[in-house]
Amino acid sequence: MDRRHALKALAGIALCPMCRPAFAAEGAHWSYEGATGPAKWGDLDAADKACAVGSQQSPIDIDRAIRAQLPALKLSWAKSADTIINNGHTIQLNFAEGSTLTLGDVKYQLVQVHFHRPSEHTIAGKSFPMEAHFVHRADSGALAVIGVLMAEGQRNEAFSRIVKTMPAAEGPAVKADPKINPNALLPQKLGYYRYSGSLTTPPCSEIVEWVLLTAPLHIAAADVEAFAKLYPMNARPVQKDNRRFVLRSS
């Protein structure tokens, strides 16, 4: 890899820590509980100060939203993922170049999807069993994350395949089951909430355009339980909204 491409790759990692390849250099160790839990993230590393002092942190509780004429989500995703990894914080699927989200006049590339238990966002104080985050990156480095709330109900074939093939321990990425179709991890209706926020993991950079779908995806209770055996709790608590506007597509 030449110097220009190496610097570009490192910049991308800094913007999106959950996009890091396996065993990439990281900052201070962080977790979801105890002395390295969310309340301490801002003190663990100078690069993570935004976790403590940022004014547009995520996730948030969505209680009131303003109806607005928002652009329809234009998704052009591949029908399979490239690799799957247990990175020590979650289960993550990585995607090859070519899958895109167009939001208004900005086009983003789908980088990865990962999962949280329970949901990080809440709706009027209500949490969900899980939440999926589809991370997209624009050429500028800005991120757009589609959040999908996950409720227990009918089995979802794509998520069941993820659960059956997810690595049981932290380690390098391996090839994903080619039958895992990311499009099947979306509800039928793509109405959404939109607000400006941050990464929900260190360094908590405030560079994210959040697109949280209003309709939940239903998944089997048994699959939630299987995920919980690896990650019983990997969700950051809700943050202050600081009077941010949350828009809702009409």
Domain containing 129 — which CATH number?
A: 3.10.200.10
Work out the widest C-alpha separation in the chain, in whole angstroms.
Answer: 49
Q: Which of 89, 116, 121, 218 is catalytic?
A: 89
With a pLDDT cut of 70, the percent of the chain lying above it is 89
The answer to whether position 61 is within a domain reads yes
SS3 131: strand
The answer to whether position 234 is within a domain reads yes
The answer to whether position 99 is within a domain reads yes
Token readout for 195 is 């607000």
Q: Which whole number is the average pLDDT over 16-32?
A: 58
**Number of C-beta neighbours around residue 119 at 10 A:** 24
At 250 the pLDDT is 81
Residues forming beta bridges with residue 66, ordered by sequence position: 247
d(CA 15, CA 34): 25
Q: What is the pLDDT of residues 150-187, one digit of tens each?
A: 999 999 999 999 999 999 999 999 999 999 999 999 99
The answer to whether position 127 is within a domain reads yes
> What is the span of the domain harbouring residue 92?
3-20+56-249
Q: Which whole number is the average pLDDT over 55-73?
A: 97
**How many domains, the chain?**
1
226-233: long-range contacts, CB 8 A cutoff, minimum separation 24: 226/163, 227/91, 227/115, 227/117, 227/130, 227/163, 227/166, 228/117, 230/86, 230/91, 230/166, 230/168, 231/89, 231/90, 231/91, 231/115, 231/117, 232/117, 233/32, 233/33, 233/117, 233/118
Q: What is the pLDDT of residues 77-134, one digit of tens each?
A: 999 999 999 999 999 999 999 999 999 999 999 999 999 999 999 999 999 999 999 9
The answer to whether position 73 is within a domain reads yes
The answer to whether position 212 is within a domain reads yes
The answer to whether position 206 is within a domain reads yes
The answer to whether position 153 is within a domain reads yes
At 123 the pLDDT is 98
User: Is 89 assigned a catalytic role?
Assistant: yes
